[in-house]
Structure 1
C-alpha cells in the first residue's frame, strides 16, 4: 500500500487519543492520530513523524499521523494499514487458494470480522490485528486491554467448530521482531484466549512488514510464542 502527499514533522504531545501536536516546518499544529492505542513507547517528544495531507478541506485537522521513527526504523501506526496490506497480500498469497474472493466486514455470531474469504466453496473468517509495540525484540499485543479482541477469539473458535476456516493474523507494522507474544502484563485474558483459540482450531499467524514513510507491505512470517 502506498501513501501520497506526505510531510515530515516532529512530535510534541498527544492531548487525547485522536489528536497529536506536531512541529511541521516550524509551525505547531494539531493532526489526527489514526490509532487509538496508547503508542506510548513510540510517540515521545522530539520523535520524527510522517504525516499525510488530508484532501478533505472540511476537516479541523489538515494532516493524519501515519508513521514514527523509533530506534532508527520507521514504524507505521495507521490502524487502517494492516487490513489494507493484508487484503493485498491474501489475494495473491496462495494461503486461501487460487484467486480467492475477499469480503470485508462480515458478521458471525456477535462479532464482525475483518474478512470473510471464499474459494472453491470453502469459507474462512479472518480477524486482523495491527501490532506496533516492540520490546527487546519481542512484538507484543495488545498495548491496552481489549475485551473486543477476546470476544473475537471466542467467536473464531465457534466458527472453526462449525467447519469454517478461522484465522487471526497479527500484522507487525515494523521489522526486526524475533517473535510475537501476548502482552501478558497488560491483558492476560487475551493471552489465555489465544491459547484456547489455537487448541480450538484457530490458525494464528504473525507477519512483519516492510515499512517506509510512504508505504507498507507484508513480509516474512514471525514465530508466535504463547
Structure 2
C-alpha cells in the first residue's frame, strides 16, 4: 500500500484531546495534525522523535494532516493510523500473502453480522465453502520484546470475540487477525495485565474454534504492507 504522495515528517511535541497532536516541522513551523487512534497509544508516544503524516486535499477537513507513523527512541517504526489495518489486511489477502486465507473468490468489507449489532471487517466467500468472518486488530503495544493487545480495556473487542464464537456455532469460519504495526514486535499475546476479561475471552474463543493469526507489517514513509506471520501466544 503506497502513500501517494509520500509522507512528510516532523517532530512530535505532544498528543492531546485524544485525536490531536502538535508537531514541529523542519522549518520551525508548529502544526496540529489529526491522530486517528482511539486507543491509549501506550508506549507509542515519543516526544522529540520523528513522526510522519499524510495530507488530504479535502477542503472540508478542519485538520488536513493525518498522523501515520511514529519513530521510537530505539528507531522502531509504529503504524499509528489504526484505520489502515483493514486496508493492509485486504491488500495482503488479495496478494495471497496470508496463507491461511487463500482460495476465496469474493471479499467484502464492513458487512453486518452477529447478534450484537456488529460489522465484520472482512468477509470471504466462495461457493460450496464455509464463509470466513475476519476481525482485524492493530497491534502496536511493545513491552519487554512482546507485542500485546489491547492497550486499554476494550468492551468492543470483547464483543467481537463473542460474535466470532457465534459464527463458529453457526457453522462458519471465524478468524481474529492481528496486524502488527510495530517493527519491534515478533510475538503477540493478549494483554492480561491490561484487560483480563479480553484475555479470558480470547482463550475461550480459541477453544471454541476461532482461529487467531498475527502478521507483521513492513513500515516506511513510502509504503506499508503485510509481509509474514509471527507467533501468537495465549
Normalised by the size of structure 2, how large is the TM-score?
Answer: 0.92
Superposed CA deviations along residues 82-113 of structure 1, whole A, max 9, x for unmatched, are: 10010011123253343521110112222211
Q: Report the counterpart of residue 58 of structure 2 in structure 1.
A: 56
Higher strand share: 1
Counterparts of residues 99-118 of structure 1 (less than 5 Å): 100-109=105-114, 110=116, 111-118=118-125
Unaligned runs of 5+ in 2: none
Q: Report the counterpart of residue 141 of structure 1 in structure 2.
A: 149
Q: Report the 3-state secondary structure (helix = DSSP H, G, I; strand = E; otherwise coil) of the residue aligned with 2:199.
A: helix
Once residues 128 and 20 of structure 2 are traced to their aligned partners in structure 1, the CA distance between those partners, rounded to angstroms, is 44
Q: Report the counterpart of residue 45 of structure 1 in structure 2.
A: 47
**8 Å contact 2:46–2:71 — kept in the other structure?**
no
Counterparts of residues 207-226 of structure 1 (less than 5 Å): 207-226=215-234
Q: Report the counterpart of residue 77 of structure 1 in structure 2.
A: 80
Q: Report the counterpart of residue 17 of structure 1 in structure 2.
A: 18
Superposed CA deviations along residues 116-162 of structure 1, whole A, max 9, x for unmatched, are: 11023321111000011111210000001110101110111110111
After superposition, the CA RMSD in angstroms is 1.4
Unaligned runs of 5+ in 1: none
Once residues 61 and 189 of structure 1 are traced to their aligned partners in structure 2, the CA distance between those partners, rounded to angstroms, is 36
Once residues 42 and 96 of structure 1 are traced to their aligned partners in structure 2, the CA distance between those partners, rounded to angstroms, is 30
| Count of paired positions | 226
Once residues 44 and 34 of structure 1 are traced to their aligned partners in structure 2, the CA distance between those partners, rounded to angstroms, is 17
**8 Å contact 1:97–1:119 — kept in the other structure?**
no
Normalised by the size of structure 1, how large is the TM-score?
Answer: 0.95
* Moved >6 Å (runs of 4+): none
Once residues 49 and 92 of structure 1 are traced to their aligned partners in structure 2, the CA distance between those partners, rounded to angstroms, is 28
Q: CA deviation at 1:54?
A: 1.3
